[in-house]
Amino acid sequence: MAATALIVIDLQNDFCPGGALAVAGGDEIVPLVNRLIADADHVLMTQDWHPAGHSSFASSHKGKAPYETVEMPYGTQTLWPDHCLWGTSGAMFHKDLVWDKAEIVIRKGFRPAIDSYSAFYENDHTTPTGLGGYLKERGIGAVTLCGLATDFCVAFSALDACKHGLDVTVKLDACRGIDLGGSMAKMVERMRQAGVRLG
Ligand code: VGL
Ligand code: ZN
């Protein structure tokens, strides 16, 4: 039987209370994620990792405020407060997360001109992060996802995992969402329709 991996998405300080792009209750999931890590055969992580002046930051677009949108060559991009600047404390994993077991950390969002929600592809849906190939080579056929944020990086990762033919579970109680303009209900429904198991 193909192996299963737990993928912990973006459980970083900037997405936790007090962080630059805080997700309500983001830190509450840490104990549960630690239990999932302890029980998992393989643990993979993603880390949102942006250079200063990244194009997903509202501050990079004159006259734009966070949570507004801009049209990028690859489609509509939501603008965010500056967050997860590479190498800063905001980009580090939550201090109580026990992630020694992690076999790989996939960093995403490091190209200045393109954002990346999914662990598999950047927001143009064509530039790969390499995770798809990694899972294939490792013989991993099923993934369980948890982390932040439910309606952005977790959901887009889950949808792409389905497209890769993986068996996909999202542990909703080990996720927290941003919920921008109804994005939570919309993305949960999209995951359900794509065949994601919502556990
Ligand atoms: C995320 C917005 C911007 C996420 C990352 O991890 O869901 N959301 N960058
Ligand atoms: Zn980001």
What span, in angstroms and rounded, lies between the C-alpha atoms of 194 and 159?
7
Q: What number is the average pLDDT over the span 86-113?
A: 98
Q: What is the mean pLDDT of residues 36-52?
A: 98
Catalytic position from the list 16, 146, 153, 175: 153
Ligand 1 pocket mutation pick from 9, 59, 70, 83 by most atoms within 8 angstroms of CB: 83
Q: Report the run of H or E that residue 70 belongs to, with start and end.
A: strand 69-72
The CA distance from 69 to 56, in Å, is: 9
pLDDT for residue 197: 98
User: Ligand 1, closest atom to CA 10?
Assistant: 6
Cα–ligand 1 centroid distance for 40 (angstroms): 24
Pair 5, 43: CB distance under 8 Å: yes
170-179: average pLDDT? 98
- The DSSP letter of residue 118 is S
Looking at the CA of residue 46, tell me the nearest atom of ligand 1. Answer: 6
Q: For the chain, where are the alpha helices, taking DSSP H only?
A: 30-39, 131-138, 155-163, 183-194
User: Does position 135 have pLDDT exceeding 90, yes or no?
Assistant: yes
Mean pLDDT of the residues in the chain: 97
Region 49-61 average pLDDT: 98
CB of 148 shorter than 6 A to ligand 1: yes
Cross-strand pairs, 6: 43, 144
pTM here is 0.98
Average pLDDT of span 83-110: 98
Residue 158 is which amino acid?
A
Q: 43 pairs with which residues across the strands? A: 6
Asked if residues 10 and 19 have their Cβ atoms less than 8 Å apart, the reply is no
171 is catalytic: no
Give residue 5's identity as a one-letter amino acid code: A
pLDDT at 1 over 80: no
pLDDT level of residue 133 (50, 70, 90 thresholds): very high
- Which residue's alpha carbon is at the smallest distance from atom 1 of ligand 1? 153
Mean pLDDT of 109-120: 97
149 contact partners, CB below 8 Å, separation of at least 6: 10, 15, 23, 26, 175, 176, 177, 178
The pLDDT, as a whole number, for residue 2 is 84
